[in-house]
Structure 1
Amino acid sequence: MAPPRSRHVRDPVLNMVFQAASDDNLPLFKALVMVLDMGRGRPKEAIEGLRVEEAGKLQGFSALHIAATRGSLRVCRYLVEDLLIDVDLVDKEGRTPLLFATYHNGGTAEYLLDHGADQDKANNDGVSLLHYAAESGNCEMLELLLAKGAYVDPVAPHGTPLHGAAGEGQYGAVKILLDHNADYNKMVNGVTPLMAARDANSTECIKLLVKVQEEPMLKREIVASELISLGNISLKKKDYAVAAKLYSRAMQLDPDDAVLFSDRSLCWLHMGDGRKALLDANKCRKMRPHWPKACRRQGEALMLLKDYEGASERFLDGLKLDPVDTDIEDALREAMKS
């Protein structure tokens, strides 16, 4: 979207005011404001009420909109600091001067932000400044808005800024948003940013979004493996309470690992807690019903609970699965004796 120019103002004098704002001609702009004020001593009211009336893209535009759009920094300063014009004036579509300042690199955007402009202000359709910057690939403006505290995940009808950037194939914008912890799993109208990138056939954005989704999973796997390794060391040292805690933490990261339940069941057995040992053994057996060790853990827990008949049944199940496992065979013999 190209920066709009000042047009369609009916009164030639008013058109001259907007042209002076567009050209950053501060002396002429001040003189014209005085003409509009007609000696009433209320220049703020005179210029703040001056708006583009004719229908079109500029309807409702103020002098500050024009100055911000064209990068007219001197006129912006005069309006904001001298006349105390509301920095968040909106046009007919609810757009502020800051939005149009984002299309120009003359410093007006940063100036308006430094003087109280709302970086999260959305237009009448719910589209924020961050949406515009992301979809247009304006990385400099994205960085500025985020540095000023803009919320990274505002939701518009078509999604978040990350949806917009991905859908337009704006790799740089996608990377910046992800670096600022944008929600890459956010679903709006059944669409995630990754799906938006796929619809746009943006290979680079797809790769980036897939990679960032895989990283947390990889980190969880690494952390879980470290906890398991430490748990195994503690188990060998017969420090069963510590081992059980480490296995429990690993389960939070990887709750579908049957071996973890088997090993923690063994810890409970050594600590004399048959009830907990059986609970973990049952979960292990449910996950891996054809694993002989799961049957063995059930039998051992039942032995501790003095349910010898139940223990015999579990050991027998394990022996059927692995007829050459002498440990299960010995355990079965002991259970039957008991």
Structure 2
Amino acid sequence: MASSPSCPARSSPRPQRFPENLFVLDNPRPEDKLTPQIFLAAGDGNIRSMKKLAEGLAREGKSLGEMTVNDPLHRRLGPLHFAAWSGKLEMCRFLIKDLHLDVNADADRGSSPLLFAACGRAPKEAVRLLLDRGANPNIACRKGYTVLHVVATMTKTDSSGVAEILLSRGANVDPMCELGTPLHYAAECGNVQMLDMLLQYHANPNRVVRLFYAPLTLAIFAHSLKCVELLIKAGADVNAGRPVTPLIIAAADGLADCVKCLLEAGADANIPDEIGRTPLEIAAIQGWKECVEILFPFTSCLTRFPDWSIDGIMQHVALGSSRDYKKCEGSALKAQGDAAFQAKDYPHASDLYTKAVETDPHDSTLYAKRSLCWLHMGEKDKAFNDANTYKGMDVDLSSSCHEQAAALILTKEYGLACKALLSGLKLDFGRGPIGEVSREKNA
């Protein structure tokens, strides 16, 4: 694949990466000075020391299960977590069988011993042991992810082997959390072996999350042709996620091999993005001539190009104003943000508005829209900052009146807020009775 020329921002924002080590502690050690020996004994697999410590606690009327510490993610970790992480199998057996510790401790917060085993030093053996002792692989934490989600992000270990153990023992292959299923996670990480394993267990390749992120789209973001091929073979919809289709993403990133693969699988080269640009036009704007050559025979003639030829298209784009193209990118991001807001995906909407601001910092409505997102997310300080920024800019009440009114109310500009609301009524109702009232009050 060719190297990227200097060009405007891509058509669609890349999703936030699923970090491989989000749920892993490099060297877990307790912070509670009263019980360090318990956790050190668990991590070291010292059963003799653990017996003495447990007997001492019993004499004080305490239980070993009560001895927990908090990690940086505010999860309550017990001795079994440390033993599972360290791969101390005999210690795990002893803690569960002899000391009756809960094999599913703190699973609802996202830190079950099974999760620590999967991310630890002897994942296959520890996972198998905990499942034998009754660990539930399908308990979802408050954010919705399960152990299988976490395993799907692990590219430096035999994640597919761990996943196969989990799936063969009853793990749900398609649990959904905010960012998708394990298949989404594997595709975005370009984890070919994991993705293949999930598909063998009939993971759904066509679930779309966050407006347009299907596994196929995420595989293209990961620049993984092998993942793309596996997903298509499994029945992935090559036109999923409209208007941001996999072909649009591949064209924007100049992935000629992926473009060919998608077209051979039946991708429609004439589906435009939010502002009407086809994959061919996006590839031309980005400077990817090879992709333009591949897409040209599959794309219907566009009248806005006076010379409908490969060279003519490239020349027309080269003569265009980079400022105009940047404005188009900003419009696309703003439209995606509006769609995310309507879907009540406020974190994603705020992220899209932020990217749009970077493209067009003089669009005051973007700050008003993002301010309202922050309000919905409970981020009052950020909402107030954006509202203040908006207040100091030129106010345009020809659109986005509701968002602008919210920002003006935050900054105590009640008169302008009323104007914004009344302007919105006028836009919504035209010449109806309420529209007449708004005109009278604005007169």
Smaller-chain TM-score range?
Answer: 0.5 to 0.7
SS of structure 2 residue aligned to 1:108: helix
The structure 1 residue matched to 2:127, chosen from 109, 126, 132, is: 109
- Quote how far apart the aligned CAs of 1:5 are: 3.1
Q: How does 1:113-262 map to 2 (within 5 A)?
A: 113-137=131-155, 138-189=159-210, 190-213=212-235
Question: Does the 8 Å CA contact 2:68/2:79 hold for their aligned counterparts?
Answer: yes
Q: C-alpha separation between the residues in 1 aligned to 2:182 and 2:108?
A: 23
Change (3 A) 1:58 1:73: farther
Question: Does the 8 Å CA contact 2:44/2:86 hold for their aligned counterparts?
Answer: yes
Question: Does the 8 Å CA contact 1:17/1:32 hold for their aligned counterparts?
Answer: yes
- Quote how far apart the aligned CAs of 1:99 are: 0.3
Counterpart for residue 66 of structure 2:
49
SS of structure 2 residue aligned to 1:136: coil
- Quote how far apart the aligned CAs of 1:64 are: 0.8
Residue 85 of structure 1 pairs with residue 106 of structure 2: no
Q: C-alpha separation between the residues in 2 aligned to 1:4 and 1:92?
A: 22
Residue 6 of structure 1 pairs with residue 6 of structure 2: no
* Structure 1: gaps (5+ residues): 216-338
- Quote how far apart the aligned CAs of 1:168 are: 0.3
SS of structure 1 residue aligned to 2:80: helix
- Quote how far apart the aligned CAs of 1:124 are: 2.1
Q: CA RMSD in A?
A: 2.1
CA deviation digits over 1:109-139, x for unaligned, max 9?
A: 1111011100111222111111111121411
TM-score by length of 2: 0.45
Question: Does the 8 Å CA contact 2:107/2:141 hold for their aligned counterparts?
Answer: no
Q: C-alpha separation between the residues in 2 aligned to 1:112 and 1:39?
A: 29
CA deviation digits over 1:188-220, x for unaligned, max 9?
A: 2222110111122212111211222289xxxxx
With a CA cutoff of 8 Å and minimum separation of 6, indicate the structure with the bigger relative contact order: 2
Counterpart for residue 76 of structure 1:
92
* Structure 2: gaps (5+ residues): 1-20, 238-443
Question: Does the 8 Å CA contact 1:6/1:19 hold for their aligned counterparts?
Answer: no
Which letter does structure 1 place at the counterpart of 2:57? L
Question: Does the 8 Å CA contact 1:60/1:92 hold for their aligned counterparts?
Answer: no
SS of structure 2 residue aligned to 1:213: coil
The structure 1 residue matched to 2:83, chosen from 67, 73, 90, is: 67
Counterpart for residue 114 of structure 2:
98
Question: Does the 8 Å CA contact 2:104/2:136 hold for their aligned counterparts?
Answer: yes
The structure 2 residue matched to 1:17, chosen from 24, 38, 54, is: 38
- Quote how far apart the aligned CAs of 1:58 are: 6.6
Counterpart for residue 267 of structure 1:
none
- Quote how far apart the aligned CAs of 1:11 are: 2.2
Change (3 A) 1:33 1:196: same
Counterpart for residue 221 of structure 1:
none
Which letter does structure 2 place at the counterpart of 1:127? Y
Q: C-alpha separation between the residues in 1 aligned to 2:65 and 2:229?
A: 48
Percent of paired sites with the same residue: 33
Q: C-alpha separation between the residues in 2 aligned to 1:91 and 1:171?
A: 28
SS of structure 2 residue aligned to 1:36: helix
Which letter does structure 2 place at the counterpart of 1:78? F
Which letter does structure 2 place at the counterpart of 1:119? P
Q: C-alpha separation between the residues in 1 aligned to 2:182 and 2:31?
A: 34
Q: C-alpha separation between the residues in 2 aligned to 1:133 and 1:148?
A: 15
Richer in helix (by share): 1
Question: Does the 8 Å CA contact 1:6/1:18 hold for their aligned counterparts?
Answer: no
Change (3 A) 1:179 1:91: closer
SS of structure 2 residue aligned to 1:5: coil
Question: Does the 8 Å CA contact 1:93/1:123 hold for their aligned counterparts?
Answer: yes
Which letter does structure 2 place at the counterpart of 1:27? R
Q: C-alpha separation between the residues in 2 aligned to 1:171 and 1:94?
A: 25
Q: C-alpha separation between the residues in 2 aligned to 1:63 and 1:84?
A: 12
SS of structure 1 residue aligned to 2:173: coil
- Quote how far apart the aligned CAs of 1:91 are: 6.7
Which letter does structure 2 place at the counterpart of 1:133? V
Change (3 A) 1:103 1:188: same
Counterpart for residue 34 of structure 1:
55
Q: C-alpha separation between the residues in 2 aligned to 1:171 and 1:71?
A: 26
SS of structure 1 residue aligned to 2:76: coil
Change (3 A) 1:38 1:9: farther
Q: C-alpha separation between the residues in 2 aligned to 1:103 and 1:169?
A: 19
Change (3 A) 1:122 1:92: closer
